[in-house]
Structure 1
Amino acid sequence: MIKNINTIAVFDLDGTITSKDTYLEFIKFCKGTLFFYLGIVVLSPFIILFYLKLYNNNRLKECFFSFFFKGYKASELKKKGVEFSETILPALCYKSALNVLKWHQEQEHDIIILTASSDIWLKQWCASNNYELKSTQFETIDDCFTGKIKGNNCFGIEKRTFLTEYLKNKNYAFSYGYGDSSSDKHFLELTNQSYLMKLDSDNVDKYWKNEHL
C-alpha cells in the first residue's frame, strides 16, 4: 500500500482497543472492587431500566458518575486519571489493536480516539501516544464534579456529529474507522474504510491480524 499522509484513522476505544470498559475499570481503580460492586447493587434498578430501554445511556452514565464521584475535586480525580493512564490502561489494550495504531502512525496518519469514556482517565494516555482525543466531559463547579455531563455524551449519533464537524474544515484524502458496536455505525458511515467488530476477546487478535490492512 502506498503511504498517504493525508489520511485520518478514527478509533472507538472501549471494546475496540481495550478488552474492558475503561469507565468501569477507572471506578474500580479509584474506589476498590468491593465498593464498585456495592455500587452496582445500589444502582441495579437503573441498570435494569437501561436494558429495558426505559433509561438512556446519558442518564445511566450520570447516575454512575454521581454515585461514585459527585463532589470530588477535579484536580484530585484528574491525578488519579493520570495514574490510571500510566499503570492500568496499557494492560487493558489488545496488543494487536496497538499494532494497528502503530501502523497508522508509521504511515503518518492522524489518529483520533472517539469515545464515550472521559478525558479524566484517557487524556494522559492519548497525549503520550500523540492521539487526538474526543470524549465525554463531566461538569465541574468550583473545581468539584457535579455528577452531570458537560455538553453532549460522546456516544452514538454524537460521535457522527463531532466527526462531521471535524472533517468539514479538513481535506483528508482517505479515512479509516474502527468500532465494535452498533452505536459506532453512526460515525463509521462517514469513513472510506470501516471495521466493525463484535467478537469475544479470544477472537479479537485473530480478527486484527487476518482482516485488517
Structure 2
Amino acid sequence: MQEGRQIVAYFDFDGTLSDRDTLVPFLIYAVGIWRFLCCVPSLLPIVVRYGLRLINNEQAKQLTLQRVIAGMKSYVLEQKAKNFALTRLNKYLKPVVYSKLEWHREHGHTLILVSANLGVYLRYWARLHKLDYVIATELDINERNRITGRLQTRNCYGKEKVTRIKQFLADNHLSFSYSYAYGNSAGDYALFAYSNEPFYVSGDSVEHWSRRQ
C-alpha cells in the first residue's frame, strides 16, 4: 500500500451521502408505481409493528422485500438496480458530504461504502463514483434465479456494520493505519466507536462526533 492507501474512509449512504432513505424509491422504480401502490395495504401492518417495536429493522426490511420484489427474476432486478443507480441516485446526493468523499479520494484514501441498504444498486453507484468497496445488505436468490425477498446477509446496521467490516478486511487481507467514518444515525454509532475520526452528518452539516458527546 502507498501511504495514502493506508487510510480508509467509511461512508454510510442513506441520510449521510443522500438526503433520504433510498430503499422505497428503489422499490418503486423496480416494480413500478402502480404495483407498489397495490402492495401498500400489506405494508401498513409492517410499518405499525415496526413503529410499536414489535419487530426490528431487519425483520421489517425482509417483510417489505418479500411483499414487493419476491419472485422477480434476478437479472431483471439487477438491470433495474443499475439504471436506478446511474440515473436516480445522484439527484439525492448532499453536495457538502459528497465533497468530503471527493477530498478523501483526492488524497488517495481507500473509500468504503457501508450501508444497511441494498448492495444490488449501491455497487453500481459506488463504481460510478470510484469507491473501492461496498459492504451492504444482500438479497437472497434461489436456484431458479429469482429473488426470494429474504436477506442473504444480516442487515448491515449498527454493530453489524463493524462485524462486516472486520470480516471483509480479514477476507481480503486488508489493513489500515487510520480511519474516518461518516454517518447520520444510531445505526452508525458502532462505526463511530470503531473509527479514529468519526463525523456526524445532520442535514447539510458535518460535525466531528466528539463535539456532540
TM-score by length of 1: 0.88
Local SS of the residue matching 1:171: coil
Matched, 1:29 2:29: yes
**Correspondent of 1:191 among 180, 189, 195:** 195
Q: Distance in 1 between matches of 2:74 and 2:135?
A: 19
Partner SS for 2:127: helix
The CA deviation at 1:31 is 2.9
Map of 2:211 onto structure 1:
none
Gaps of 5+ in 1: none
For the residues of structure 2 that align with 1:189 and 1:35, how far apart are their CA atoms?
Answer: 41
Aligned pairs, how many? 202
In the alignment, structure 2 segments of 5+ residues that lack a partner are 209-213
* Contact 1:136–1:154 under 8 Å retained in 2: yes
Quick check: 1:79 aligned with 2:83? no
TM-score w.r.t. the length of structure 2 is: 0.88
Match of 1:144 in 2: 146
SS across alignment from 2:138? strand
1:26-65 CA-partner distances (Å, limit 9, x unpaired) = 0121233454344333211121111111111111111111
CA distance in 1, matches of 2:175, 2:117: 27
Q: CA offset at residue 170 of structure 1?
A: 3.5
Aligned residue for 1:147, secondary structure, equals strand
Name the stretch that deviates more: 169-178 or 50-59: 169-178
| C-alpha separation in 2, matches of 1:171 and 1:68 | 39
CA distance in 2, matches of 1:150, 1:194: 29
Does the aligned pair in 2 maintain the 1:62–1:147 contact within 8 Å?
yes
Q: How does 1:1-213 map to 2 (within 5 A)?
A: 4-131=4-131, 132-141=133-142, 142-167=144-169, 169-197=173-201, 199=202, 204-205=203-204, 207-208=205-206, 211=207
The answer to whether the 8 Å contact 1:163/1:187 transfers is no
State the identity as a percent.
Answer: 27
Q: State how far apart, in whole Å, the 2-side matches of 1:20 and 1:36 are.
A: 19
Any idea what SS the aligned residue of 1:13 has? coil
- 1:79-111 alpha-carbon deviations (Å, 9 max, x no partner): 000100110001111111111111000000001
- The CA RMSD over aligned residues, in Å, is 1.8
- Sort the Cα spacing of 1:20 and 1:45 in 2 relative to 1 into closer, same or farther, 3 A: same
Conserved? CA contact 1:11–1:114, under 8 Å:
yes
Change (3 A) 1:87 1:12: same
Shift of 1:127: 1.3
CA offset digits 1:2-45 (Å, max 9, x no partner): x8442000011100000111111101212334543443332111
Counterparts of 2:112 and 2:102 in 1: how far apart (Å)? 13
Cα deviation, residue 126, structure 1: 0.8
1:134 Cα shift? 0.7
Indicate if the aligned counterparts of 2:10 and 2:112 stay in contact, CA closer than 8 A: yes
> Which stretch of the first structure deviates more once superposed, 161-170 or 92-101?
161-170
* SS of structure 2 residue aligned to 1:155: coil
